[in-house]
């Protein structure tokens, strides 16, 4: 598992995925509320908070140490809700009313989840809860094996095309981007008008 502070060292606002995340939020008309799935030490939340200081922000992660690091070090964290939770838990977002949060997003997280129905369930839930968009900034794996840093297991191949069935309807997929050390895609799902 990477140390939480390493995410801050990497957490430059000029990092391409950060720019792409903020661009995606602009594209959907901004966010007065957002939930980050797999927020780790809060670097993305920090940049979203800088761009939308009035927004109601929530970060969820399975890593307690990372959440503690965010609470202690991330500027703005005292204004966010940081929740411990497992994205494979089908009841994770039960407390969030449908259509009540502008944007639900993830950055390099879903790729680490084990394969299975829970991924479909999570994205189906996100679609119900999100008023404006579900935004995924996720590695372009081309189906290669991915290492799960949470429990040190190697995950089955999962490539970006696998998300499509879970995000039916109004989905835009960026051209694959080149980050510092890997490729990634930006997916923006919006409810039908």
Ligand X SMILES: C[S@@+](CC[C@H](N)C(=O)[O-])C[C@H]1O[C@@H](n2cnc3c(N)ncnc32)[C@H](O)[C@@H]1O
Which residues are at the interface with ligand X (CB under 6 A)?
7, 38-40, 43-44, 61-63, 66, 86-88, 107-109, 112-113, 150
Q: Which residue's CB is nearer to ligand X, number 3 or number 98?
A: 3
- Least separation in angstroms between residue 94's CB and ligand X is 15
Q: Which residue's CB is nearer to ligand X, number 148 or number 191?
A: 148
- Least separation in angstroms between residue 95's CB and ligand X is 16
d(CA 88, CA 121): 9
- Least separation in angstroms between residue 193's CB and ligand X is 29
Q: Which residue's CB is nearer to ligand X, number 152 or number 192?
A: 152
Q: Which residue's CB is nearer to ligand X, number 7 or number 80?
A: 7
Q: Which residue's CB is nearer to ligand X, number 61 or number 102?
A: 61
Taking each helix axis from N to C end, the angle separating 43-51 and 16-27, rounded to the nearest 10 degrees, works out to 40
**Two tokens, residue 43:** 């670097």
- Least separation in angstroms between residue 167's CB and ligand X is 19
- Least separation in angstroms between residue 62's CB and ligand X is 3
Q: What is the 3-state secondary structure (H, E, C) of the chain?
A: CCCHHHHHHCCCCCCHHHHHHHHHHHHCCCCCEEEEECCCCCHHHHHHHHHCCCCEEEEEECCHHHHHHHHHHCCCHHHCEEEECCCCCCCCCCCCCCCCEEEEEEECCHHHCCCCHHHHHHHHHHHHHEEEEEEEEEECCCCCCEEECCCCEEECCCCHHHHHHHCCCEEEECCCEECCCCEEEEEEEECCC
């Amino acid at each position: 598992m990477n140390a939480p502070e390493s995410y801050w060292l990497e957490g430059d606002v000029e990092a391409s995925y950060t720019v792409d995340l903020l661009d995606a939020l602009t594209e959907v008309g901004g966010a007065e509320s957002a939930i980050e799935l797999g927020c780790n030490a809060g670097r993305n939340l920090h940049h979203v908070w800088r761009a939308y200081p009035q927004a109601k922000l929530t970060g969820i992660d399975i890593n307690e140490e990372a959440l503690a690091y965010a609470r202690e070090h991330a500027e703005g964290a005292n204004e966010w809700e940081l929740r411990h939770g497992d994205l494979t838990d089908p009841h994770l977002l039960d407390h969030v009313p449908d259509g009540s949060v502008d944007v639900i997003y993830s950055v390099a997280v879903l790729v680490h989840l084990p394969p299975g129905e829970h991924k479909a369930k999570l994205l189906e839930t996100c679609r119900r809860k999100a008023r404006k968009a579900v935004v995924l900034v996720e590695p372009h794996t081309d189906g290669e094996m991915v290492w799960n840093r949470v429990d040190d297991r190697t995950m089955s191949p999962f490539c970006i095309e696998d998300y499509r069935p879970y995000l039916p309807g109004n989905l835009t997929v960026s051209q694959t981007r080149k980050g510092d050390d890997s490729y990634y895609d930006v997916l923006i799902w919006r409810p039908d008008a």
